[in-house]
Structure 1
């Protein structure tokens, strides 16, 4: 797996720039504004296919040449897009088969984006050809720092090309029809296949479909989800291969979309030179969700820094309600991205579009091009801070001792399966676990189930529905060397084909966990059953949606249901493993058989973390985030105040505030206004172990009532 990072002198700062939409006299105005905002990087040409190739055999790079020259003259760096993020009208008209066919079997006409069939030979040929032409022309340009292939890959197609490609994909995966029939359990409902041509796409016209989000044959649908993800990947690889014919070294990426269901980003990761994503949170209180998604993106490349390719300075334009980012939030969220490993923070877009669906989407410059607005001043102030920071954290990594497993197969399989609870959503279950790790101040990696787990003290595996490969063995190894594993309901249920294990649940995880699931009760939202955590803090948090009735088989009970016919039955268990053969202390395996409320999940998570000394210094300060990046033995701490109110906390260690240059002593009060940020280069701490702090969790925290006491720099 490669991970290339282009050289830089600071966190890259800039955005998606479309001067082709504006008269040339505006370009100089843009350059002056970008200088005021300390922006050094622009992404060019994301949606320029029709401009660059007005007909199948005609290419015209004249205007793009002018734009590249203008940007270069201002000293800015370029992320060059391959312009294939949306089809040009001539292509859709001349070759209608490139248009996607939807789930209902309707072939679309030209419009929107995400509108190309990834299996279309014409699309793949022409998109790769354009990428190659661009690379041939601009490879070696002194300002080029990365290639941006496509844009926000997504969607699905169910056309004849995809059906034929799906059959080929299945033959490569299963080799024989016997193996396919076994994997899909086709003796059910007399669906045994005797010829590859009998396989059809699982859409609304086939017997596979039984309504939104569920299907009669989960194996078929799961494989089509895998196929669709890999079909889009093949299109990406086509373009990257074309680029590499002319440019062997400039990093190639595409902009992911965080926890995005249609694409398994882990399967894409090895083909990207660096990971990048577009950060558009659904609301102003999604800071924990964003932390999870940053960690997921960083984990794609084994902890290497990633880029935020897009965020909005002000507002989005795609939702029912599109609120403004409140004062300070843009700065706070941008520093949060850097704290979690971002080496670039870019915007969509530099200048607001005049028309079409995103004319009201936020931008660095509004329609009037003003630089005296609140939002522009915030953008410029952040640019000045990033310039002052320089290269202090470039390339720095997160010193994580906790891993959170994220698995698209488990996501897909659990949500397309009948007989469970359709109110349960995989991303929410993962977020419920991550939120408590985040609030506890843990530095963690979000990784695939096949990742190397040998460097982690704690592995959290929520809703590990699909157990594939050797993941069960590797989790046992974590515990054997003294680590802790935490998992929970619906885990260990099915194999990679989504066929149930013919053994007690949780299948291959049973020996590790020392527990058996006898029955599973599902209830609608609002139906709760408190769990008595008498084996922990004695609290009675609510639980809902899923209630597994557990039987301990080597585990001890730390929480029991208190209501319904299964009152007194185990709900939360812990198995303490004996000392390992090499003399190390045995570890622990935890199982939570229900969806605990946040306070209940926090109790369990902190019990796991405390055993390893991993509770952070500000774990008891709600919504005060603490994150660390480390490079060459130097640690930089980020304190981020998401609470919406001023806070005063003791410095957990001595060091230098990289944003102000001020000296900070351990225990010294730190004042953070609402959305306040401190970036602290820590003093070396001889003899300190990972996760230890000069000032522990016992420090006093003060809520500052009068924001006017805070300096402008602190704000």
Structure 2
């Protein structure tokens, strides 16, 4: 997607204000004053665009788009499939979803539609083609926003039949299906594919292979629906790029698969600022920024964020002065080419009437939020040269949704609180504290080009993963894995023999038992190698402690208590031209920080600064022979940094960086 500006603006819903033309005129004037250059239209407009079946009403949209065009404001145009009109549900009840208890939903809410339904697909294709024919070649339209926040599943008869066909296509024979799902357990053997149904509390939930394949089916069926939406647009003659807006820590879909269907990745981010120390919230948000960026290894878009407080989180916390700027610049730092809000004007009624907006119910220019939005717009205009710059990372962390699906359904070693995401983020945090860019990838991603690869809690080794890791390390890479890794295959069947499967010689150990600790129960990891852990007597571990039998690895840490006191906990071993590390317990962050600092030194990965103060995040984007080094202070106090060489694009060269302040340096590549 070729851009000449940072996209700035957000979701705009003029259909809610068609009875107030004065407000619509004032909105555009205020957008211009706030330096807003892009709005998203049509996300939930279906009932206004097609008030009756087959009768279209585009006049209002024509008028709004013309006015925006005159004001120099670009449009991201949505397909309206995220919420269907009531006439459709009344005439075609098959479009409504059926839940896992086989109960069909009533009309209402949003995303209450079946992705398999031929009628729903037909109606979506028709409205999409009408939109594409009318607006699909308009220069003002820069991107198609396909639906909104895809999610959910349907268990209707149409979906059951589609699932059976999916399973049959995958396994070919019922015998292969039975073997993959271990159906002889509890005497649940299938005699025919016709007997297969989706998991249900009224039926089968204990075949983990079934549960896992159902999640895969739901994700692929959603992807098939997305592909059909895009095909309608292409068939109508529009070649404008497409996106879907993804979500923070979303469990229901495999975003790595869906990213292949679209041209640009975008996502919606709503951090709970001021709840924990800001650097923790910032680092979590940065993790998901990097996850989204890594899906296509190219700049992405922050499609939604909140200019004030949300209405749907447990507490509607206001952003303190300066936080809106910091949140916006963090997106740019991690690779976004946009800062877009939900929403431009606050709704007057219904569910999101108290969700923050650029223009609130008061409607004035003298609000704190509007002034801060205007300031962000000014700054984004000053750093437009960052648009299109890319992010290079020598380091990658594996976060894999299929691995998570399988592990959290596995019934053991902890059925409440495996803390997979937290385990992945500990590796991510440790690298980020050193100022390193980090890619967040899945197991299927290519490893070439990385110097360090961390795979925490890699419970599922899909086919070929271990071989690819061995090749990566043999050629000089550093591989880090942890407890509860290499246990099962792609259908959640346990590997027979030593684990981590296929990597025991690389790591110089095998896993034996794993101890699930009660909440509040702890152990300690005691350093054996003082050259790495010189300043620490021990580190606290909790949740899970893996027992291992070391064959050839060097022991770096041992357990401090319990019957396995003194047994190995953290190990290291050369393999080929590289190294393999194993972390046997869910240990505190400071242990990761100390260990990874040494690993990075060993790898000779270049750091942007020798010293980064606590609470300061450093990220780098690159373009045409230069690096953009971006520093942000997410601590509560002034911090001092030695900026060194580089041209200042934003912030001060004083060496002091204030809370929520951003500094951007342009440096020549070496």
TM range, normalised to the smaller chain?
over 0.9
Residue pair 1:543, 1:597 contacting (<8 A) in 2 also? yes
In structure 2, the partner of 1:550 is 548
Aligned counterpart for 1:188 among listed residues 149, 170, 185? 185
Residue pair 2:626, 2:667 contacting (<8 A) in 1 also? yes
Distance 1:626 1:277 in 2: 22
Distance 1:153 1:40 in 2: 26
Displacement of 1:137 after TM fit? 0.8
In structure 1, the partner of 2:134 is 137
In structure 2, the partner of 1:65 is 62
2:214 paired with 1:221: no
Q: Deviations over 1:244-291 (max 9, x none)?
A: 113442110110003210010001111010100001123433100111
In structure 1, the partner of 2:372 is 378
In structure 2, the partner of 1:405 is 398
Q: Indicate the RMSD between aligned Cα atoms, in angstroms.
A: 1.4
Displacement of 1:618 after TM fit? 6.0
Distance 2:215 2:273 in 1: 28
* Pairs within 5 Å for 1:46-125: 46-125=43-122
2:637 paired with 1:645: yes
* Pairs within 5 Å for 1:593-672: 593-614=584-605, 615-617=607-609, 620-651=612-643, 653-659=644-650, 669-672=654-657
Q: Deviations over 1:17-56 (max 9, x none)?
A: 1111111111111111111110100000100111111222
Q: Deviations over 1:395-424 (max 9, x none)?
A: 111121001112111110000011221211
Aligned counterpart for 1:202 among listed residues 193, 199, 202? 199
Distance 1:350 1:279 in 2: 16
Displacement of 1:549 after TM fit? 0.5
Residue pair 2:397, 2:428 contacting (<8 A) in 1 also? yes
Displacement of 1:328 after TM fit? 0.8
Unaligned runs of 5+ in 1: 209-215, 581-585, 686-715
Distance of aligned partners of 1:619 and 1:90 in 2 relative to their CA distance in 1, 3 Å threshold: farther
2:278 paired with 1:289: no
Distance 2:190 2:273 in 1: 47
Displacement of 1:684 after TM fit? 4.5
* Pairs within 5 Å for 1:387-398: 387-390=381-384, 392-398=385-391
In structure 2, the partner of 1:571 is 569
3-state SS, counterpart of residue 254 of structure 1: strand
In structure 1, the partner of 2:230 is 240
Q: Deviations over 1:63-89 (max 9, x none)?
A: 111111121111110000011111211
Displacement of 1:619 after TM fit? 5.2
Q: How many pairs align?
A: 657
Aligned counterpart for 1:319 among listed residues 292, 297, 313? 313
| 181-190 or 509-518, which deviates more | 509-518
2:537 paired with 1:537: no
In structure 1, the partner of 2:6 is 11
2:148 paired with 1:156: no
In structure 2, the partner of 1:305 is 299
In structure 2, the partner of 1:675 is 660
Displacement of 1:354 after TM fit? 0.3
Displacement of 1:314 after TM fit? 0.5
3-state SS, counterpart of residue 539 of structure 2: coil
TM-score, normalization by structure 1:
0.90
In structure 2, the partner of 1:691 is none
2:230 paired with 1:249: no
Q: Deviations over 1:185-228 (max 9, x none)?
A: 111111111111101110111132xxxxxxx1110000111111
* Pairs within 5 Å for 1:445-594: 445-535=439-529, 536-538=532-534, 539=536, 540-577=538-575, 580=576, 586-594=577-585
Q: Deviations over 1:294-341 (max 9, x none)?
A: 11101111x200000000001111122110111111111111111110
In structure 2, the partner of 1:704 is none
3-state SS, counterpart of residue 627 of structure 2: strand
Displacement of 1:534 after TM fit? 2.1
Residue pair 1:517, 1:550 contacting (<8 A) in 2 also? yes
| 613-622 or 227-236, which deviates more | 613-622
Distance of aligned partners of 1:618 and 1:362 in 2 relative to their CA distance in 1, 3 Å threshold: farther
Residue pair 1:463, 1:490 contacting (<8 A) in 2 also? yes
In structure 2, the partner of 1:261 is 251
Q: Deviations over 1:98-139 (max 9, x none)?
A: 111223332110111121111222112211221111111101
Residue pair 1:45, 1:82 contacting (<8 A) in 2 also? yes
Aligned counterpart for 2:21 among listed residues 2, 8, 24? 24
Distance 2:669 2:428 in 1: 29
Displacement of 1:548 after TM fit? 0.6
Displacement of 1:613 after TM fit? 3.0
TM-score, normalization by structure 2:
0.96
Displacement of 1:616 after TM fit? 4.8
Q: Deviations over 1:655-676 (max 9, x none)?
A: 111126x7x5xxxx52211101
Distance 2:428 2:609 in 1: 18
Displacement of 1:683 after TM fit? 3.7
Unaligned runs of 5+ in 2: none
Distance 1:135 1:256 in 2: 22
3-state SS, counterpart of residue 290 of structure 1: helix
Residue pair 1:529, 1:562 contacting (<8 A) in 2 also? yes
Displacement of 1:57 after TM fit? 2.2
3-state SS, counterpart of residue 523 of structure 2: coil
Q: Deviations over 1:663-707 (max 9, x none)?
A: x5xxxx52211101001111444xxxxxxxxxxxxxxxxxxxxxx
Distance 1:27 1:247 in 2: 31
Distance 1:324 1:155 in 2: 30
| 425-434 or 20-29, which deviates more | 425-434
Q: Deviations over 1:342-394 (max 9, x none)?
A: 0111000000000111100000000121111111111100100111112x111
Displacement of 1:509 after TM fit? 2.3
3-state SS, counterpart of residue 479 of structure 1: helix
Distance 1:491 1:86 in 2: 41
Distance 2:401 2:72 in 1: 41
Distance 2:446 2:244 in 1: 25
3-state SS, counterpart of residue 520 of structure 1: strand
3-state SS, counterpart of residue 264 of structure 2: coil
Distance 2:291 2:669 in 1: 29
Residue pair 1:450, 1:469 contacting (<8 A) in 2 also? no
Residue pair 1:529, 1:542 contacting (<8 A) in 2 also? yes
Displacement of 1:512 after TM fit? 2.0
In structure 2, the partner of 1:33 is 30
Displacement of 1:551 after TM fit? 1.0
